[in-house]
Amino acid sequence: MVLVVAQAISANARPESFADLAQKVSPAVVNITTSTVVAQGTGPSPIVPEGSPFEDFFRDFQDRNNNGDRPRRTSALGSGFVISEDGYIVTNNHVIETADEIIIEFFSGRELEATVIGTDPKTDIALLKVDADEPLPFVSFADSDTARVGDWVIAMGNPLGQGFSVSAGIVSARNRELSGTYDDYIQTDAAINRGNSGGPLFNLDGQVVGVNTAILSPNGGSIGIGFSMASNVVTRVVDQLQEFGETRRGWLGVRIQDVTDDVAEAMGLEKVAGALVTDVPEGPAEDAGMKAGDVIMQFDGFEVEDTRGLVRRVGNTAVGKTVRVVVFREGKTQTLRVTLGRREAAEGVVPAAQPGEADEPSETELLGLTLTQLDDELRSQLELDDNANGLVVSDIDNLSEAYEKGMRAGDVITEAGQQKLSSISDLEARIEDAREAGRKSILLLVRRAGEPRFVALSLEEPEDAPE
């Protein structure tokens, strides 16, 4: 009896066939052919030694064929899927980004030319549109947050230009990050190859849970590690592309880093969480009173676990919305009201300069660092602003904690204990304050080539080596 029940459960867990599902969704899946005009001269040409008897032969051959630099047309293949009966189609941005012409081939063999409605390189998503004289078969998106590791999925598309093809597998992992700020990939072992890019990853309800985007492979073919951009990311992008023709992501206007164990201890945080603000350029956060050294604990009612979560949360929030941001500052929390800007309009914003006053040059050794106060000569050598202040790391002990944590000669320390530095005595005072407060480490704001980051260094004296 137990064996019969176990067999029944196993049969229900694994479908006998995906044929009915494939037949149901295939009419909404499309092949995409793109063509681009390139100069003939951009391709490889034979290298013939000067004076070779073949030199005249190859010159005549090139002159006869397209006059040497005559433009030629190249084509590429990809996949996509229809999301509305009036002809909106989703694919990858890299499938169509250089195309002069985009041809959509439907499961029936019918072909239509598509126009680009909008693209989002950050998530590698593009929205296309075709004009059809009748309603088109389409598919809907699933809630990718409900997808579980181990769930069955099927991938459909045009692998290696072979036409409509189906492969099956499971969700191998969730929340994968490859290289993008807004990455949220579903990993699957369903076979994905070149040409599958932009095609749908379906759950067993025939809903799109992801857009097949990339594979991990040493040879260019499927080895069972494929990545599909999660549908919950895609739907937000598609909605904005459909409404505006472009993305409109929220922008807070800060530079941030994760809170580590030693940073949390140095700041007196109860738990290792939040996003540590390293710089506040001109923008929404500065207008709201946020400062470098603040730790963002909550954003718009949501707890902030790390920088990745905060970036996604901010990006998914409407431009112009005023949100409550809870920060940890100087041992207590404070609530700021920030009206978000638009990230796309803020790309390339230069951080605000750090003003200060200079004292007489001096040098000392602290925390395994040889420190020199900034002067005009050092500012010139390091290409810093005339009003830049702080302490320059002129040398560093290779066996020190500072070296292990990535500090190097040429770094500039601008703050210690979340207070600005103008002299060696400032740093010595901050170290003394931290020790009196019972801190085991001190938090330094370090800049390298203009990029800021916080480093926590231990204040405990190293133990003497045993004799």
The set of catalytic residues is 94, 124, 197
Residue 378: strand, helix, or coil: helix
Alpha-helical (H) ranges within 316-438 are: 343-346, 376-381, 401-404, 424-436
What would the DSSP string read from start to end of 106-164? Answer: -TTS-EEE-EEEEEETTTTEEEEE---SSPPP---B--GGG--TT-EEEEEE-GGG--S
User: Angle 312-318-320 (CA atoms, 0-180°, nearest 5)?
Assistant: 125
| Interatomic CA distance for residues 362 and 66, integer angstroms | 70
Here the tokens at position 450 are 């203009």
For residue 153, what are the contacts with CB-CB under 8 A and spacing of at least 6? 147, 168, 169, 170, 171, 186, 188, 190, 201, 202, 203, 204, 209, 210
Q: How far is CA 247 from CA 102, 143, 291, in A?
A: 22, 21, 28
User: Angle 192-79-170 (CA atoms, 0-180°, nearest 5)?
Assistant: 35
| Interatomic CA distance for residues 70 and 37, integer angstroms | 10
